[in-house]
Structure 1
């Protein structure tokens, strides 16, 4: 029994570690989308940033320079998206999708010399004193700086969005940009800023894969993680805490799939790899169902005994996008 509990805490720590890059990227995308801009380039950006971060860290033998280079890649890609969508008025969705494909191909072409080379990695850094605590030490305090940063970025993002003037401006950009403009906010400039900050975080998340979680570089290294991040932001209702829970849920599904593969060796490896993505899509379908008027009408036909718990579950699952998300803004 004791051995099973110890394994449970180790698995929980593994989930927190596996989710770290997703959490960082998801916070960046949450910031961008709360400001009204959809960045569909995430998957390609993370790949290009992962390659760049690893290449720079390997060449300079400096991890900080690797993460800085990856952040710069994310910021530049986001700025290009802003140029075409915010300045030139092109579709955010179309431009983001093209950038995702372009960055994916660039990562493969430019990263060819670095495939499967050994390189520097983020060092394991247990926190003295706290790491020795029973249970909590194993789960939370025996990690590395990237994972600790993923713990801090969630409450920080939530605090900034909901308890600061900056957060009020960001939420206004995504909900009522015309009202923000009437109060003296330069909507385009602020959207650029939030998009670039979000892009930099996505770039850091890419480097977190190649320099920490999946050490090294190879073709398609992040395995569709950018698309999962986009889905998780929707699942989380554009709220940082719920978005983070979605990241941990997906990481738990990945850990569970890995454990199941050893217990069920007859199942093909491809099915095990794809299973977390399928389950996440199923969860997203439930969220969309909960947001539909048809679901509310169906609940209204049920006996009162069932209505209250179902309505409570629907309210928790319901996700409402920022009203001006993806919409161009033209000055009055």
Structure 2
């Protein structure tokens, strides 16, 4: 049983960069802006954070530099998509490619170098508690921050006036503009906040989870975060659940590789991505009108539980997501 709790704690730790990035993307998409540059931003931030930390021997400065990279990329995306009204998808995709190549080019001198890392910091007293201590209080500051960020994001979006404005920006920006809210300024603010969290997530890889820097160190993680935000229905708690699910699939795939040596390593490595795509397909299927019509024809004994499950799985994107806003 102790091994089970240790494994669950490992999943919680492995998911921490994904959680941080996913909370940032959830905030920006709730405001109506898709940051498709995530994968490249995380790579460039991971490289920058590690390079600064190695040069200064200061992990905190590494995270600050990574956060600034995330904010800078978000500003560039905002200038083209929010101010100039260009396609958020196209601009974000180009930025993803640009940042990916920049991380490979600029990070070449730092490949495989040893460097500082986030220190292990169990919380005195709480770390010795049975089960709970193993799960939540025997980690490092980055993982603790990922735990706190989930309820903080949910509180921001659902229990504050700021959250009400942010959600309205993604649903009916014209309505909040009519009430005196500067839509573009607020979207910039939420996009930059999300970018800062994405940058920190990149540094969390190179300075904590996968210490060091190598070619395309976090490659694919940004795309997974985008998929998880969809899977989570743009709701922080469900998005976090998707992050932990993917981390569990990755750990399971890694361990099965040694248990099943006949299976090609490449197949094991891509298995979590395939399973995540299947989960996304299931979520989208739950939103299909055809499925709802079929369920409506079933007897009540089947219809009610199925509708309850569909209600949990359905994910409706913010109505104005990806749409530029022009002042009347």
**TM-score of the alignment, normalized to the shorter chain, above 0.5:** yes
Pick aligned residue for 2:201 from 197, 201, 205:
205
Corresponding residue of 1:43: 39
Corresponding residue of 1:222: 218
Q: TM-score, normalised by structure 2?
A: 0.99
Pick aligned residue for 2:176 from 173, 180, 185:
180
1:300 positional shift: 1.5
Corresponding residue of 1:171: 167
Pick aligned residue for 1:103 from 99, 104, 108:
99
Distance 2:105 2:264 in 1: 30
Corresponding residue of 2:238: 242
Runs of 4+ in 1 over 3 A off after TM superposition: none
SS of corresponding position for 1:37: coil
1:6 positional shift: 1.1
The number of aligned residues is: 328
Q: Deviations over 1:258-290 (max 9, x none)?
A: 121121111111111100000000000000000
Corresponding residue of 1:113: 109
Distance 2:45 2:315 in 1: 30
Matched, 1:298 2:302: no
Structure 1 residues 7-156: aligned runs within 5 Å: 7-156=3-152
1:304 positional shift: 1.9
Distance 1:108 1:200 in 2: 21
Distance 2:280 2:204 in 1: 26
Distance 1:126 1:275 in 2: 33
1:301 positional shift: 2.2
1:66 positional shift: 0.2
Distance 1:160 1:138 in 2: 28
Q: Where does the alignment leave 5 or more consecutive residues of structure 1 unmatched?
A: none
SS of corresponding position for 1:130: coil
Q: Deviations over 1:189-219 (max 9, x none)?
A: 1000000000000000000000000000001
Distance 2:6 2:13 in 1: 11
Pick aligned residue for 1:260 from 252, 256, 262:
256
Q: Deviations over 1:67-104 (max 9, x none)?
A: 00000000000000000001111000000000000000
1:303 positional shift: 2.2
Q: Where does the alignment leave 5 or more consecutive residues of structure 2 unmatched?
A: none
